[in-house]
A and B are shown apart, each in its own frame.
Chain A
Amino acid sequence: MGDRRRRRRLAAALAAAGLAFGTAACGSGSGGAGSGDPNTLEVWTRSDPDSAATYDRVFAAFTKKTGIKIDYQPVVNFDQQLQARASTKDLPDVMINDTALMGSYQSQGLLKPIEPDSIAGHDQISAKSWSSTVGLDGKHYGIPYSRQAMTLMIRKDWLKKLGLTAPTTWQQMLDVAKAFAGRDPDGDGRKDTYGIVAPGSAMNGYAAWWGAGFLWQGGAQIIEPDGKGRYRPSMDSAAAVRTVTWMKDNLFCGARGVLQPGAVSAVTGTATNFQDGNAGMYMTGPYNITSFDTMLGKKTYEVVPAPAGPAGSDVLAEGENVYFGARTGKTHQERELAAFLVSAEGQKIGMTSVDGHQPVVRIPTNSTLDAAKVRGDARWSVVQKAYETASEQFPNAPDFAPIKQDTADSLNALFTYCGSDVRSGLKELNETLAGDLKDQDLLK
Chain B
Amino acid sequence: MTATVTAPARRRGPSKKAALPWLFLAPGLLLALVFKFLPMGKGIWLSFFKVRPFLGDKWVGLDNYTRVLSDHRFQDAIGHTLVLGVGISLGAILVGFLLALLLEGQARSLKIMRTAVFLPVVTATAVVGELWRLMYYPTSDGLVNSALGFLGIGPVPFLDNPDTALWATMAMGIWMAAPYNMVIILAGLAGVDRSLYEAAAMDGVSLWQRLRYITLPAIRPALGVVLTLAAIRGLRVFTEVYVLTGGGPAGSTDVWMTRAYTLGFSRNDLGGASAASVVLLCVTLLLTVTVNYFRKRGDVR
- CB pair B246 A203 closer than 8 Å: yes
- CB pair B262 A405 closer than 8 Å: yes
For the complex, give the distance between the alpha carbons of A204 and B258 in Å: 11
- CB pair B31 A262 closer than 8 Å: no
Comparing A79-87, A118-126, A299-307, A376-384, the segment that makes contact with chain B is: A79-87
Q: From residue 179 to 224 of chain A, which have CB atoms closer than 8 A to chain B?
A: 192, 201-205
Asked if B26 is at the interface (CB within 8 A of a chain A CB), the reply is yes
Q: Which residue of A lies closest to B33 (CB)?
A: A22
Chain A positions within 8 Å of B141 at CB level: 192
Q: From residue 93 to 129 of chain A, which have CB atoms closer than 8 A to chain B?
A: 104, 107-110
Which residue of B20, B138, B266 contacts A204 across the interface (Cβ within 8 Å)? B266
Asked if B245 is at the interface (CB within 8 A of a chain A CB), the reply is yes
- CB pair B268 A108 closer than 8 Å: yes
Measured CB to CB, the closest approach of chain A to B166, in angstroms, equals: 13
Chain B positions within 8 Å of A104 at CB level: 268
Compute the total of residue contacts between A and B using a CB distance below 8 Å.
Answer: 129
For the complex, give the distance between the alpha carbons of A203 and B265 in Å: 11
B23, B133, B137: which has the most chain A beta carbons within 10 Å?
A: B23
- CB pair A262 B157 closer than 8 Å: yes
Mark contacts of B134-168 with chain A using CB atoms, 8 A cut-off: 1 yes-contact digit, 0 otherwise: 00011101000000000000000101101001000
Q: Which residue of A lies closest to B31 (CB)?
A: A22
- CB pair A262 B159 closer than 8 Å: yes
Measured CB to CB, the closest approach of chain B to A404, in angstroms, equals: 8
Q: From residue 244 to 298 of chain B, which have CB atoms closer than 8 A to chain A?
A: 245-252, 262, 264-270
Which residue of B28, B73, B249, B267 contacts A264 across the interface (Cβ within 8 Å)? B249
- CB pair A262 B160 closer than 8 Å: yes
- CB pair A265 B246 closer than 8 Å: yes
Asked if A354 is at the interface (CB within 8 A of a chain B CB), the reply is no
Asked if B53 is at the interface (CB within 8 A of a chain A CB), the reply is yes
Chain B positions within 8 Å of A267 at CB level: 246
Q: Is the interface of A mostly helix, strand, loop or mixed?
A: helix
Q: Which residue of A lies closest to B50 (CB)?
A: A439
- CB pair B31 A202 closer than 8 Å: no
Measured CB to CB, the closest approach of chain B to A10, in angstroms, equals: 7
- CB pair A262 B138 closer than 8 Å: yes
- CB pair A402 B250 closer than 8 Å: no
- CB pair B53 A89 closer than 8 Å: yes
Comparing A11-19, A136-144, A389-397, the segment that makes contact with chain B is: A11-19
- CB pair B268 A399 closer than 8 Å: yes
Q: From residue 63 to 101 of chain A, which have CB atoms closer than 8 A to chain B?
A: 79-80, 83, 86-87, 89
A10, A14, A204, A327: which has the most chain B beta carbons within 10 Å?
A: A14
Chain B positions within 8 Å of A7 at CB level: 16, 20, 23
Q: Which residue of B lies closest to A414 (CB)?
A: B250
Q: Which residue of B lies closest to A15 (CB)?
A: B26
- CB pair A202 B251 closer than 8 Å: yes
Measured CB to CB, the closest approach of chain B to A372, in angstroms, equals: 35
Which residue of A19, A89, A270, A409 contacts B30 across the interface (Cβ within 8 Å)? A19
Which residue of A89, A107, A262 contacts B137 across the interface (Cβ within 8 Å)? A262
Mark contacts of A287-300 with chain B using CB atoms, 8 A cut-off: 1 yes-contact digit, 0 otherwise: 00000000000000
Measured CB to CB, the closest approach of chain B to A21, in angstroms, equals: 7
- CB pair B249 A416 closer than 8 Å: yes
Mark contacts of B162-188 with chain A using CB atoms, 8 A cut-off: 1 yes-contact digit, 0 otherwise: 100100000000000000000000000
- CB pair B266 A265 closer than 8 Å: no
Asked if B35 is at the interface (CB within 8 A of a chain A CB), the reply is yes
- CB pair A109 B248 closer than 8 Å: no
- CB pair B250 A413 closer than 8 Å: yes
Question: What residues of chain B have their CB less than 8 Å away from a CB belonging to chain A?
Answer: 16, 20, 23-24, 26-28, 30-31, 34-35, 42, 51-55, 73, 133, 137-139, 141, 157, 159-160, 162, 165, 245-252, 262, 264-270
- Can you add 10 more A-B contacts, CB < 8 Å, to A15-B27, A417-B162? A15-B23, A25-B34, A83-B265, A107-B52, A202-B250, A262-B137, A262-B160, A265-B245, A402-B267, A413-B251
Q: Which 8 A-B pairs have CB atoms at the shortest separation, nearest pair first? A: A18-B27, A109-B54, A203-B246, A109-B55, A416-B250, A413-B250, A416-B249, A264-B249
Instruction: Name 24 interchain pairs, CB-CB below 8 A, sorted by A.
Output: A18-B30, A21-B31, A25-B31, A25-B34, A26-B34, A79-B265, A87-B53, A104-B268, A107-B52, A109-B52, A109-B54, A201-B249, A261-B157, A263-B160, A264-B250, A265-B160, A265-B245, A267-B246, A327-B54, A402-B268, A405-B267, A409-B73, A412-B251, A416-B248
